Structure 1
Amino acid sequence: MIERPRTALILVDVINSFFEPGLPNHYPGVETVLEPMRALRRKAKESGALVVHAVERHRPNVDDFEWRKLPVHHLERAHDADYFEDFRPEGDNETAVFKRRFSAFFATDLALLLTEQRIERVIIAGVKTNVCIRATAQDAFANGFEPVVVREATNSNRPHLADASLEDIDRYMGRVVSLAEGLELLA
């Protein structure tokens, strides 16, 4: 019998800033990823797979290199940086990783956490495909994890860049799969 690779789910930036209308990073259509992400999370919880909430958090009153390109955002304890609705980590198989750059791996302990749990594959979902999802998939690959992006569980306000990013991820780094296949990989 061939043993299946151990798989974890990474939910990227499921925070108010992107999903609450009126906040700076909200964009039309972003809500379409919510139900697919909920389905992936439910399946991960049922199977006991690790769920990592990778959320952007910056320190207030501390200079951050990112401010040279983007306005100040997602400060610790700020409303825009808080988890959206029912996406707060809960239960024994859920944890959080706080990131200060686009990738959930860069300057965090995510690779160490996954390695210690003997994870080989990561299912990646969240926002935005052409920025944080792509950077996370690329760094998952660079760290020796198979990145799998669920097409219905990510999107962007720049669809042409999202499509190009998904094509690159599928061609060079990992796989882009349907929600049904993503759920099966978490079973």
Structure 2
Amino acid sequence: MAKPDKTALILVDVINSFFEVGHPNHYPGVEDVLEPMRALRDAARRSGAIVVHAVERHRKGFEDFEWRKLPIHHLEGAHDAAFFDDFAPHGPNETVVYKRRFSAFFATDLALFLHEQNVTRVVIAGVKTNVCIRATAQDAFASGFEPVVPREATNSNRPHLAEASLEDIDRYMGRVVPLDEAVELLS
């Protein structure tokens, strides 16, 4: 007999770098995802669903392959890498995964952790749709999870690439759903 689907929430890069005005990764409209992400987080907290805070962190003073393509950013202990506003982990069903690349799954123990918790589906929200969200959804699928992306809980400063990414996620990897449906999955 098949086990029922168990859903976890993955919040991707909800850090000052993207959400505080004046940081290089901030872009107009990014704040539109804050309330939808709060709705998802609050639903998960009420139901006891696992919440994973997947945040980019790099080691100060050490070489990082990412610096070949991007400027140095999100160093351990730096203000830009800190959790934004009220998005710090809170409660027994929340954990943090530090990532050094776009995907929350690549070179982390996230897949192992979620499999050990019998999770079968992940709701993925955060920034940016065409980079970290897409990479996380693709690796979630490759790791044996059903990725679900609530349309209102992700965006990008490249809207045309965000739309193409959502289309690919829905067609090839998982589902792109309205916020209410994702909240229901976490409730």
TM-score by length of 2: 0.98
Which stretches of structure 1, 4 residues or longer, exceed 4 Å deviation after superposition? none
1:154 aligns with 2:163: no
CA-CA distance at 1:131 after TM superposition: 0.1
Distance 1:82 1:183 in 2: 26
C-alpha separation in 2, matches of 1:15 and 1:100:
14
Distance (whole Å) between structure 2 residues aligned to residue 104 and residue 68 of structure 1: 20
Task: Name the SS of the counterpart of 2:52 in structure 1.
Answer: strand
Residue number in structure 2 paired with 1:49: 49
1:30 matched residue in structure 2: 30
Aligned to 2:82: 82
- 1:9-158 to 2 correspondence within 5 Å? 9-158=9-158
- Cα distance in structure 1, aligned partners of 2:26 and 2:78: 16
Q: CA RMSD in A?
A: 1.1
What SS is found at the alignment partner of 2:131?
A: helix
1:48-89 CA deviation, whole Å, 9 max, x = no partner?
000000000000000000000000000000000000000000
In structure 1, what is the Cα distance between the partners aligned to 2:54 and 2:3?
A: 28
Gaps of 5+ in 1: none
TM-score w.r.t. the length of structure 1 is 0.98
- What fraction of aligned residue pairs are identical, expressed as a percent? 78
Distance in 2 (CA, whole Å) between partners of 1:151 and 1:51 is 18
Q: Aligned with 1:152: secondary structure?
A: helix
Residue 4 of structure 1: CA displacement? 3.7
Q: Which residue of 2 aligns with 1:164?
A: 164
